[in-house]
Structure 1
Amino acid sequence: MRRIILMGVAIAWVISQAACSKKPGANPAPGPTVNPPVVQAYPGFQLALTNDASKQVELYDPMATDWNATEAKKWRWSPTTSLGFSTNEVKSFGGGTDFKVRKMKIWQDASYAVISDNGMAALIAYPSGQRVWSKVISGNLHSAELLPNGNIALAAADGNWIRVYASSQGADNNTYTEYSLGAAHAVLWDPVINGLWVTGQDLTNNAHILTALAVGGTDADPELTELKQYRVTLPTAWGHEISAYYGNTNLLWVTTNGGEYVFNKTAKTFSVSPTNNLTFVKGIGNQPGGQIVLVRPDANKNPRPAISCSLNNWSSGTVDFYTSGGQWQGSRIVNGACFYKVKIVYDNYQ
């Protein structure tokens, strides 16, 4: 993967390698340079981090100023046989590529979570972690979403597809529908458009796109159809993350290898994120109060942090916090961690 490097004059490099993925990284790019005067406590919802080093999904309290302290970590999860998972599923789990909590009206307003990992996906009761549905699935899964009807949507970067599995029909149900999308990286349900936002690559012309899919059919036999009126070409190549922009239902966070953006649904336009248009951002979101939280690989920072992920080039031991206007506030650093993605633990879709 390549990025845009500023060296006196602007030289545009075409980003030509495959999308982010859990694959070796790219050339370094600057990280935050302004040091806050003190370590601050940040009010807001807990933050979910997928940790390749511990092979767990971990929830941290942003009010805690030292995330290495035991009390900062509020919840952790990995599949176990005692939670109802098979031995093969337990062995397949590497820490997760996505995690979302949703309050489900169809299930007495209880909270559930969906998790994707490179080789498996799961739907669990939250916070108990008990298995509701799970499956070992090849294709390098990068994102998961729990639909309002209890079915699970998945994006597979190497499988080149978006699928919806009929998880509402039982813990071992294997029925699914598939939509072909190259380097598929993100799925996010949007109740405003009643559709599923996705990023990927059009396999017919190689265009890097953001688009939306309608989920039709029945709960037991779903169907996927593109809502072509929402299709747009991404500003830079290799789409990655899509997250809700809490506080404005007309906006979405969208990242690519080449930048980070705020997408306006009605205008179908992208504006540069206030956080300096960083490259290779793997996870981004905002607290309802406006604070922006993101994770970006240590390998893409210049200088590389002294405490960084040594396991791979696509994760980081650091989570960065910014004001809604893009001013860097500070970081949380966990020794030995390799965080791939961050999610705001908020059980509403928007």
Structure 2
Amino acid sequence: MKKRRSLPAALFCLLAIGATAQNNGNNQDTLAVAACKKCLVIAEQSQHRIVIAEVPSGRVIWEWKPESSNVQPAHVKWFSNPSDAKMVYNNGYVLMNASGGGVALIRVADKKTIFYAYVGGNTHSAELLPDGNIVSASSTGNYLMVFKTDTLHYPGDVYTKKIPIDFGHNVVWDAKQQRLWSAAREHMHSFRYNFNCNAPDLVQDTVFSLPGTEAHDLFPVYGENSLWLTNTTNVYKFDPVTLKLTQADVVQANIKSVSSAGNGFPTIVARPKVSWWTDEVIDAKGKRLFIRKGWKIYKARWVVPNTFSYPAGDQMHLCR
């Protein structure tokens, strides 16, 4: 029997990349995002869109609007006032959510909405679970919602499960400890995932008090095993192993988002100028790094890998 010769690893990778580009259509957007040395992914509410923009020029290199995508016209209103956006799957996809109640997983290469669903309750955050399912947090609804990321039957006929939580504003997966963190008003919650692809669920593991009230943003500190945590008065670093909080050396009070990216990148924050939005992104000391007049920025994050939550080089995967 004649043996098959295996392809060299480098050639195999090139073929795989070529196949992905062919399947995804025009791949220029992916290349532009990958080539950007300092870019932000922004939840921008003046035009109800997600933007990837260059710093400090402000040049927009990518944007997604629901009305220009494959979102059904009747569902476009779900994506009014985007409230968060995270780069996932090795920066090849964007996971976003909106106050209008929608959650969407968007492919950067062709801006196709691979999956979307209605959450409701003023959705403030979303997160990928290890098997590709999604969990979201809603503030006025006071719940987390877990979805089976069913790309064949969305947005209607997909499995969901609600988990009550007070003033839900954030969800972050901790890959090392295999748990989900959510800071809700004045308490930190951790949950265990049942790893059931078809019937995903979360079981509360621990809950303990936090200083202050109305916890808002929770997001990994780049290069550290810790999380940024904001509330109405302070910004903290939270250690998920010791469960200790340390006040961060960052401008304080009413911070909507915090993001870091290691050497050469300042820690950035989004702090409202008007109501809940701003037209600029500032550094930890309050110095302006980015401004676009007329924009309504709710949250802004560096486009960098998130190895706190996902494996290095993580690729799109769905359980079946």
- Matches of 2:239 and 2:43, distance apart in 1: 28
Q: Deviations over 1:271-323 (max 9, x none)?
A: 111014x1110010101226201101114xxxxxxxxxxxxx0000110023x
Report the CA distance shift for 1:287/1:347 in structure 2 as closer, same or farther (over 3 A). Answer: closer
Instruction: State the Cα distance separating 1:196 from its structure 2 match.
Output: 1.2
CA–CA separation in structure 2 for the residues paired with 1:170 and 1:212: 31
- Is residue 74 from structure 1 mapped to residue 61 from structure 2 by the alignment? yes
Are 2:78 and 1:103 equivalent residues in the alignment? no
Q: What TM-score does the superposition give when structure 1 sets the normalisation length?
A: 0.72
Q: Is the 8 A contact 2:44 2:51 kept in 1?
A: yes
Structure richer in strand, relative to its length? 1
What percent identity do the matched residue pairs reach? 22
Give, in whole Å, the separation in 1 of the partners of 2:52 and 2:231.
25
Aligned pair partner of 2:268 in 275, 289, 293:
293
Q: Which moved more, 1:340-349 or 1:253-262?
A: 340-349
Q: Judging changes above 3 Å, is the alpha-carbon distance between structure 1 residues 127 and 241 closer, same or farther for their aligned structure 2 residues?
A: farther
Aligned equivalent of 2:209, options 233, 247, 250:
233
TM-superposed deviation, 1:51: 1.0
Given that residues 45 and 296 in structure 2 are in contact (C-alpha distance below 8 angstroms), is that contact kept between their aligned partners in structure 1?
yes
Which residues in structure 2 correspond to 1:119-268 (within 5 Å)? 119-168=101-150, 170-172=152-154, 173-201=157-185, 208-228=186-206, 231-249=207-225, 251-268=226-243
Is 1:332 aligned to 2:290, yes or no?
yes
Q: Which runs of 4 or more aligned residues in structure 1 lie more than 6 Å from their structure 2 counterparts after TM superposition? A: none
* Count of paired positions: 269
CA distance in 2, matches of 1:267, 1:344: 27
Q: Indicate conservation of the 8 Å contact 1:188/1:196, yes or no.
A: yes
The answer for the alignment partner of 2:283 in structure 1 is 321
**Cα offset, 1:211, TM superposition:** 1.8
Q: Structure 1: how far apart are the matches of 2:108 and 2:205?
A: 32
Aligned counterparts, 1:79-90, within 5 A: 79-80=66-67, 83-90=69-76
**What is the alpha-carbon root mean square deviation over aligned residues?**
2.0
- Distance (Å, rounded) in 2 between the aligned partners of 1:334 and 1:293: 16
Pairwise CA distance, 1:175: 0.7
**1:280 maps to 2:254:** yes
Q: Please list every run of 5 or more consecutive structure 1 residues that lacks an aligned counterpart in the other structure.
A: 1-42, 105-109, 202-207, 300-312
Q: CA deviation at 1:217?
A: 4.6
Conserved? CA contact 2:83–2:125, under 8 Å? yes
Gap runs ≥5 in structure 2 = 1-35, 309-320
2:136 partner SS: strand
Find the aligned partners of 1:245 and 1:133 in 2 and give their Cα distance: 27
Match of 1:345 in 2: 303
Greater RCO, CA 8 A, separation 6+: 1
Deviations 1:113-168 (A, max 9, x none): 21100121111222422121112332110001122211111001011101110014
Indicate the residue corresponding to 1:310 in structure 2.
none
Report the Cα offset of residue 97 of structure 1.
0.7
SS at match of 2:177: coil
**Aligned-partner residue type, residue 49 of structure 2:** Q
The verdict on how the C-alpha distance between 1:211 and 1:316 changes in structure 2, with shifts beyond 3 A counting, is same
C-alpha distance after superposition, 1:241-271 (max 9, x if no partner): 011111112x110001121111122221111
Alignment deviations for residues 182-202 of structure 1 (CA, whole Å, 9 cap, x no partner): 10000111101111111214x
Q: Deviations over 1:201-233 (max 9, x none)?
A: 4xxxxxx111211110511101111121xx331
